[in-house]
Amino acid sequence: MNKLIEFKNVSKEYKTGALVVKAANQLNFSIDKGELVVILGPSGSGKSTLLNLLGGLDKVSSGEIIIDGENISNFSDKELTQYRANEIGFIFQFYNLIPNLTACENIEIINDVIDKKIDGTEVLTQVGLSEHVNKFPSELSGGEQQRVSIARAISKKPKMLLCDEPTGALDSNTGKLIIELLINLCETENTTVIIVTHNSEFAKVADKVIHIKNGSVESIEIHETPESIDAINW
């Protein structure tokens, strides 16, 4: 497989007066194209910092982040904006849908910031919501709202999906459907999916598990044959 992501001695420090907090401390790892990767760790371990650095929402204090051969650590704010718009799909726990826009409009609003125009109806059909294109978020279940957010994230065919506790607000059956959808994107679209979570059960279905503790990589597991979705205890 080809490398998509490389973290090389990546650190991120936050200063509050004389206090220096290392939210990321000398991170080193790589992720291949098409991999499903789980970033696992307790609250405060540095998972969100890692996700923000990878998504271009924050800049490194030192080290390099290489994405598909480009060092985004040196990107300007404008270049990072374009990177996020064209290369990254974000999926959050609480959907972040605009309440006064329909499901279709929530997807097509991205047309304001990218060059290629997206057909919201077509993307919603891919996630099984063809009958809900004109419904507002308040008319959808939690699982349906999360599928709209996934449709929005995948609509521009990003190189990677960054998922922050994507099933945290869902029941077990709906959560299973969402994880199955993400696995399918890896297998059929060669999308790299990165799930940040504290739920160790998700590790069972991952190609790679990166354990984070106190801002550092504690260990990395490689699963040559990940388990099926049925192995997860919800």
What one-character DSSP code corresponds to residue 90?
Answer: E
**Hey, which residues does 216 pair with through a beta bridge?**
213
Tell me, yes or no, if the pTM score tops 0.85. Answer: yes
CA-derived radius of gyration, the chain: 18
Q: Which domain holds residue 87?
A: 34-62+76-231
**Hey, which residues does 213 pair with through a beta bridge?**
216
114 token code pair: 């990218």
Residue 22 lies in a domain: no
| SS3 state at 200 | helix
At residue 135, the pLDDT reads 97
What is the distance between the alpha carbons of residues 222 and 78, in angstroms, rounded to a whole number? 36
47 token code pair: 């998972």
Residue 15 lies in a domain: no
Residue 183 lies in a domain: yes
Contact present, 3 and 174 (Cβ < 8 Å): no
* Number of domains comprising the chain: 1
Query: Tens digits of per-residue pLDDT, 56-91?
Result: 999 999 999 999 999 999 999 999 988 998 889 998
Residue 28 lies in a domain: no
Residue 168 lies in a domain: yes
Residue 215 lies in a domain: yes
At residue 1, the pLDDT reads 59
Contact present, 106 and 71 (Cβ < 8 Å): no
Residue 18 lies in a domain: no
Residue 24 lies in a domain: no
Phi-psi region of 11 (alpha: psi -120 to 50; beta: other; left: phi over 0): beta
At residue 82, the pLDDT reads 87
Ranges of the chain whose pLDDT falls below 70: 1
220 token code pair: 């990395």
At residue 10, the pLDDT reads 97
Q: Is the dihedral of CA 180, 104, 143, 164 positive or negative?
A: positive
At residue 25, the pLDDT reads 95
CATH of the domain at 225: 3.40.50.300
What one-character DSSP code corresponds to residue 139?
Answer: G
SS3 for 110-144 is HHHCCCCCCCHHHHHHHCCCHHHCCCCHHHCCHHH
The full DSSP string for 68-123 is TTEEGGG--HHHHHHHHHHHEEEE-TT----TTS-HHHHHHGGGGT-SS---HHHH
What lies within 8 Å, CB to CB, of 3 at 6+ separation is 30, 31, 32, 33, 66
Number of residues that make up the chain: 234
Phi, then psi, of 197 in degrees rounded to 5: -155, 165
